[in-house]
Amino acid sequence: MPEQTNLARLLLSRFRWFDRALLATLHDRLGVKLTSAQSLLFATLPVEGARQSDLAHRLGVSRQAVNELVGGLEQQDLVEVVPDPDSGRAKLVRPTTQGRESIEVALEIFAQLEAELRARIGDRRVDQLRGALDASWGEPPGGG
Amino acid sequence: MPEQTNLARLLLSRFRWFDRALLATLHDRLGVKLTSAQSLLFATLPVEGARQSDLAHRLGVSRQAVNELVGGLEQQDLVEVVPDPDSGRAKLVRPTTQGRESIEVALEIFAQLEAELRARIGDRRVDQLRGALDASWGEPPGGG
DNA sequence: GTTAGAACGTCAAGAGAGTTGACGATATTC
DNA sequence: GAATATCGTCAACTCTCTTGACGTTCTAAC
């Protein structure tokens, strides 16, 4: 058994557990081929739409990164980009009809994965995992 | 407050919390500029060295990926690549003297980060986090 | 012994995700 | 009306990782 000292590595590998399962299932159930980052953005998108800079902020990445992801989703007719009625410079990223259906399925898959995890490692552990991850970690300690 | 339904996103962002802090601190304390993947490999490297394919297996990435990472670490004189005495085709990746010191510091930083996290969200939560992550999750559910 | 196949490292090409910097267009503020 | 900040976007770049192919070396089977 590996020396389990590394929380960071553990966190990353557990993320990948979800990521792989989500992408594979999404592909199988919908024929939709999303990338990792796209699926993350997708699962963050409210039905009524959101501004790109909003999404960037929520995901913790730059506006440019979101811009490119949105482009990919747009090509697959999963989202549409429309002018924001409240602002001339902003645009609204909104799921299309097909996109809304896909989002529903994606959220369902997330729920199923969590349920599967509960079956595998126990309700208690999953609740505790969520509790610890949800807690306020604050900013990463700088290199002071 | 955000809708906290997404365990995957949470896992990823918490990984980044560690990652950023580690890289910044490593840079400040040692003047060593590692990338994310390099630091992960670095923290996995035993003092006595390991084969590249071993490392690939441990990290869950391809041999080619490891090969490139090792190249970067070699250029910084943190590791050296020597022929494996047990096999003519294999090579051993071994930390240099400077590398060993850096690894020690890196592990120390990991410990400090975990301590910092304990101070922020509590011992109980960190223990539970580790407990849940350490548990046997098994293979990611396929897209059946 | 020789020969088929596996394992090891490596080269090459490419995808994906993200960054910084710069820029026009639009809002806001004074 | 002028300075300033915000929003989306273009361009160039870094980093991580993948697949495919290839020479070398070790292992087995015949």
Judge whether A137 is closer than 8 Å to chain B, CB to CB: yes
Q: What local confidence, expressed as pLDDT, does residue B6 receive?
A: 83
Question: Inter-axis angle of helices B97-121 and B7-30, to 10 degrees?
Answer: 130
| Residue in A14, A58, A114 nearest the CB of B133 | A14
Residue with token string 């924001």: A84
Shortest CA distance to A79 belongs to which of A100, A60, A65, A59?
A100
Chain B residues in contact with A131 by the CB 8 A cut-off are 125, 128
Q: What local confidence, expressed as pLDDT, does residue B2 receive?
A: 37
CA distance B12 to B134: 16
For chain A, the 3-state helix, strand and coil shares in percent, each to the nearest 5, are 60, 10, 30
Residue of B nearest to A8 (CA): B15
Residue length of chain A: 144
Q: What local confidence, expressed as pLDDT, does residue A4 receive?
A: 47
- Measured CA to C1', the nucleotide nearest B51 is C8
Q: Do B11 and A14 touch (CB under 8 A)?
A: yes
pLDDT level of residue A143 (50, 70, 90 thresholds) = low
8 A C-beta contact, residue A34 and residue A43 = no
> How many other β-carbons are positioned within 10 Å of the β-carbon of residue B106?
21
Half-sphere exposure of B54 (CA within 13 A, CB side): 14
Residue A2 has pLDDT above 50, yes or no: no
Distances (CA, A) of B143 to A26, A34, A97, A98, B105: 8, 14, 24, 20, 42
CA distance B69 to B67: 6
| Residue in A116, A132, A140 nearest the CB of B128 | A132
Q: Any atom of strand C under 7 A from CB of A43?
A: no
8 A C-beta contact, residue A93 and residue A49 = yes
Span CA (B15) to C1' (C5), Å? 41
Residue B142 is given by DSSP the state P
- Cα angle, residue A7 at apex, residues A57 and A38 outer, rounded to 5°: 35
Q: Do A116 and B22 touch (CB under 8 A)?
A: no
pLDDT digits (tens, 9 = 90+) for A91-117: 999 999 999 999 999 889 989 999 999
Q: What local confidence, expressed as pLDDT, does residue B144 receive?
A: 54
The pLDDT tens digits along chain B (144 residues) read: 334 468 988 898 899 899 989 998 988 898 889 999 999 998 899 999 999 999 999 999 999 999 999 999 999 999 999 999 999 999 999 999 999 999 999 889 989 999 999 999 999 999 999 999 999 998 888 755
Q: What local confidence, expressed as pLDDT, does residue B139 receive?
A: 84
Residue of A nearest to B135 (CA): A121
Span CA (B90) to C1' (D25), Å? 9
